[in-house]
Each structure stands twice: as structure tokens, then as C-alpha cells.
Amino acid sequence: MHQLPEPPAAPAAGQTPDLSDAVLQAAVDHVIEEAKRRDTAPKVVIGTTPPVPQPGRPPMSQQATDVSALMLSGSVLTATLGGSATAILWASGHADPAVVAVVFGAPAFLALAIARLLKRAKDAAPPDVHHHYNGPVTHQTTHSRTTGVWAKTDNRQ
């Protein structure tokens, strides 16, 4: 059986304790063993099991990630412009609602109109494709026969 060293007597008030090397080494070994038992570090993944989706944004393709970032950026820009326009109108105190609607609604209306026009122009005239082939034409008859449990097909001319 292992014999541990005798613990030192408690020092008197105001005195530094006198610890031997054996006691210090035993304490260090004890702390290391406890740390090994309580290791919470992630283990290395081995195998072909697919990863588990984590909380937060779901996994997306690169194109979906790019579009998502673009939409987030656009929303920040819209909020900034709308907030500044609201601040200007509030500070002036006498903005005409009809003028405000025209000034801030016209760009959006114009963008929607251009998008619709481009969509119609793309669908309006599909390109004409003509294929012309020159050369001798031969006709060939093929007789197929499928037999067997694993379906072996034999094509003969």
C-alpha cells in the first residue's frame, strides 16, 4: 500500500508554511489527475457520420449565403435612408404628404417598372433555331431480346 507523507503542522500566525518537495509533487499530481478526469474538450470526430446542424443560421449554399448577406445589407441601407428622411421631415415640420410620397415612392415605382419591362422583353422573342443536315440517310432495324434473371439484353442487326 502507498504511504502518503505526513501533512505538515499548521504554521503559527504570520509564519510561512514549510512544504516539502514530496507534498508539492503529490499535490501537483493530484491536480493533473483531476483535470484528466474532468476533460471537457471536444473529441476528434472519426467516421462518416454527417455533422449535426448547430443552432443559429441553418447551413446554406454559397449562393444562398451571398443573397442573404445582400438582403441584410439592403435592409440596413433602407432603414438608414428611411430614418434620415424621417428625421429631415420631422425637423422641417411642414412637409407636404403628397410631395413626400412622390419623392420617396418614385424610385421604388421606377425600379419595379424597369424590372417588369426587362422580364417581358426577355420572354417576348425567343431566338429562332434552324438545323440543316446534309448527307445520306440510312435506315437500320434492330431486334432486341431480353432474357435471364439479371436481364441480359442482346441487340442484333
Is residue 144 within 8 Å of 155, Cβ to Cβ? yes
Give average pLDDT by consecutive 10-residue segment, the chain, 157 residues: 65 62 83 75 70 75 85 84 78 74 75 83 75 83 77 74
Q: What is the pLDDT of residue 120?
A: 79
> What is the value of pTM for the model shown?
0.28
Measured distance between the N- and C-terminal CA atoms of the chain, rounded to whole angstroms: 92
Closest CA to 100 of 111, 88, 117, 115: 88
Residue type at 32 in one-letter notation: I
Q: Which three cell numbers stand for residue 37?
A: 478526469
